[in-house]
Structure 1
Amino acid sequence: MNKFLLLAGFTAMFSLPVLAADEGGLKTDEAPPPPHAMDKGYRGMEDAQGMTVAQAKAMHDGASVSLTGNLIKKTAQDRYQFRDKTGTLEVSIPLAIFDGRSVSPDQLVAINGTLDKKQQSAVMKVDHLQKQ
């Protein structure tokens, strides 16, 4: 009986701090930012901005690249010219990546893929395309 009371006392003593700790989870004491103040899900983070064509061209062969801009013209069977505010880049987009969607030069698209610098100029092999 004495051991039982001793065990119950230790259990109560060590479990009280656990019950008192109320940290973690969603804190609802602050309002979320308004939709017009958000930039792709990030708020106030300059280094979280998207990659540009100029930055992509400076990367190494095989680098993963994510860009947002416009497909401005078709240059070959599956080759297109992609442009953002910093320049243009040749991209290779197989027809299957379009998945039946059509894109016009005035529509903003986000593309993900890998950089191929083994050729004369850098070419991005696109794995994913999303209309914005």
Structure 2
Amino acid sequence: MKLSVAPLFCCLLIPTAWADDNGGLKKDTAPPPPHALDEGYRGTEDARIMTVEQAKEMHDGATISLRGNLIDGSGDKYVFRDKTGKIDTIIPQSVFDGRTVKPDNMISINGSLDKKSTPPVVRVDRIQK
């Protein structure tokens, strides 16, 4: 039993001795300061909500996130406005989840752009006050 454990133990140690230092994180240089970054993910600094103007230029089926106000509408059809313009939205009552939204309430909506409709509409699947 002791003889079979010793060769096994040696086989596990040998590969680490032959491993060469080709990849992974090398900590020999300091990272650039945050203000010098020009590409890549930077967390909440990069997260931004698009405008209605930008949303209208997106492709059909694009995921849309907008921040502004619901200014008019009833049933499932509403008009959403931000500082750059207006866009029609379709918001099922289930998305409101019992919440009341007034025209002076700033809200965020998430959904998908339907450019097959004329004019384009956003099919909203989430509202956040």
Q: TM-score, normalised by structure 2?
A: 0.65
Partner in structure 2 of residue 55 of structure 1: 54
Shift of 1:43: 5.6
Quick one: structure 1 residues 116 and 107, their matched pair in 2 at CA, closer, same or farther if it must change by over 3 Å? Answer: same
Structure 2: runs of 5+ lacking an equivalent: 1-8, 13-41
Number of residue pairs aligned between Structure 1 and Structure 2 = 107
CA–CA distance in 2 between the matches of 1:53 and 1:104? 19
1:126 aligns with 2:124: yes
Mapping for residues 38-117 of structure 1, pairs under 5 Å: 42=43, 44-45=45-46, 48-74=47-73, 76-117=74-115
Kindly provide the amino acid, as one letter, of the partner of residue 92 in structure 1.
Answer: I
Shift of 1:77: 2.1
Give the % identical residues: 52
RMSD: 3.0
